[in-house]
Amino acid sequence: MFDIDKWQEIIATIRKNKMRTFLTGFSVAWGIFMLMILLGSGNGLKNGVSENFMRDAINAMWFWSGETSIPYEGMKEGRQIRLDNDDYELIKDLPGIEFTSGRYYINGNTFSYGSEYGNYTAITCHPELKEVESIEIINGRFINQIDINETRKSVVLGKDIYDALFKNKEAIGEYVRINKIPFKVVGICKESGGTRHRNAYLPVSTGQKVFNGANRLNNFALTINATTIEESRAIETEIRELLGRNHKFDATDRSALGSYNKLEDVIETMKIFTAINIFIWIIGIGTLIAGVVGVSNIMLIVVKERTKEIGIRKAIGASPSSVIGLVLLESILITTIAGYIGLVLGAGLMEGLNFIVEQQYAASAATNGGNGETLFRNPTVDLNIAIAATTLLIVAGAVAGYIPAKRAARIKPIEALRDE
């Protein structure tokens, strides 16, 4: 294998037939190049979509109240359902539930600090919302249980609100007016995975008290510790039935109690991506096989062309195995080098594309109020796949060379040397 003479023999033949070698290699390089681009694109699409998903915990679930649309136990439809703190306490302790947060909607969203003001969304919540929506604290803290218990007028500002009102001044400890009521800033946060941070978070108890909510809650956000669609559906149904009993509505009434089960969506979407991935591999390997068949074909012609030479070699004592080695190694050498070039070019192109995508993402984030939406991110292929592809190439080279090599070994010197 590492016999320098053998390599010199092979390199001499390759050098003798540059065009033929180039064309052979090109088909393989192209195959690998396409495989890299396909895989990279698939990854990019997957990463882009996943990123949009990951803004909240993937096992999150939401419930919100509305009007009944089905008559229930003698009561007409069109009845308003009101959830409250008791429901929160019940749901919080159900098995399979990790974190639960209730929210009471408050009207009007004018935020002001000194002479600066703006309209933003104020969300009342429990401390657990941080886990459910994967909120990232960049300064200070999130709402805590003491805020809830003592109904403190604390607020955690989204980064965009902070930027607009405070313009880089120290904000922690300062008071922001929300609908003319002063709230003390305890933290600055970012919404995970997103680029828009225009929400402010208040303790739910304070919201209820200050904005006349009594014990009412409008929705629940929670995370569950389920891993399959079936488990998450079971939990969803359990909560719907529980709330249905307490508030007297049909558990299947989606108008009375709306719900959204994220895990279900995530699992379904990931299934699609797995399918896309399989599809990409099939196409990629198909392209590669076309390349390998090309190499095999050209090697057959090479053997035919070299019949006389191989005959001479055999007449002066070349063993069949040395002839096989000659053809096989040439095939492997061409496929590996050409394939590697295709691999590097493909990976390089995807890295370049990644650079452009990231720039556009940053640009759109800058112009669109920090809202850089994209369906395509990080379209690159990881190292393991590149290594697997290289191994595949060497095997492909061996396969491509095998039949021609066998044919070369069968050449009879006398037939090869016959003068015609």
Partner 1 sequence: MIKIENLHKSYITGSNSLHVLKGIDLEINQGEFVSVMGSSGSGKSTLLNILGILDNYDEGSYYLNGTLVKDMSEKKAAKLRNELVGFVFQSFNLISFKNAMENVALPLYYQGVSRKKRNKIALEYLDKMGLLEWAEHMPNEMSGGQKQRVAIARSLISKPKIIFADEPTGALDTTTSYEVMEILKEINEEGITIILVTHEHDIAAMSDKIIRLNDGVIAEVIKNGDLKSWQNQYTKEVEAIAI
Nearer to partner 1, 157 or 310 (CB): 310
Nearer to partner 1, 19 or 383 (CB): 19
Q: How far is the CB of 313 from partner 1 (least distance, A)?
A: 7
Nearer to partner 1, 74 or 317 (CB): 317
Closest by Cα among 102, 82, 83 to 92: 102
Q: Are 274 and 130 in contact (CB under 8 A)?
A: no
CA dihedral sign of residues 381, 382, 384, 390: positive
Q: How far is the CB of 267 from partner 1 (least distance, A)?
A: 60
Separation CA 14–CA 133 (nearest Å): 61
Q: How far is the CB of 394 from partner 1 (least distance, A)?
A: 26
Nearer to partner 1, 167 or 418 (CB): 418
Residues that bind partner 1 (CB under 8 A): 4-5, 8, 12-13, 16, 308-309, 311-322, 409, 412-414, 417, 419
Q: How far is the CB of 329 from partner 1 (least distance, A)?
A: 15
Q: How far is the CB of 412 from partner 1 (least distance, A)?
A: 7
Nearer to partner 1, 96 or 413 (CB): 413
Nearer to partner 1, 179 or 322 (CB): 322
Q: How far is the CB of 352 from partner 1 (least distance, A)?
A: 40
Q: Are 111 and 163 in contact (CB under 8 A)?
A: no
Q: How far is the CB of 320 from partner 1 (least distance, A)?
A: 5
Q: How far is the CB of 306 from partner 1 (least distance, A)?
A: 10
Separation CA 327–CA 413 (nearest Å): 17
Nearer to partner 1, 1 or 383 (CB): 1
Closest by Cα among 269, 351, 285 to 54: 269
Q: How far is the CB of 397 from partner 1 (least distance, A)?
A: 22
Q: How far is the CB of 303 from partner 1 (least distance, A)?
A: 15
Separation CA 39–CA 350 (nearest Å): 10
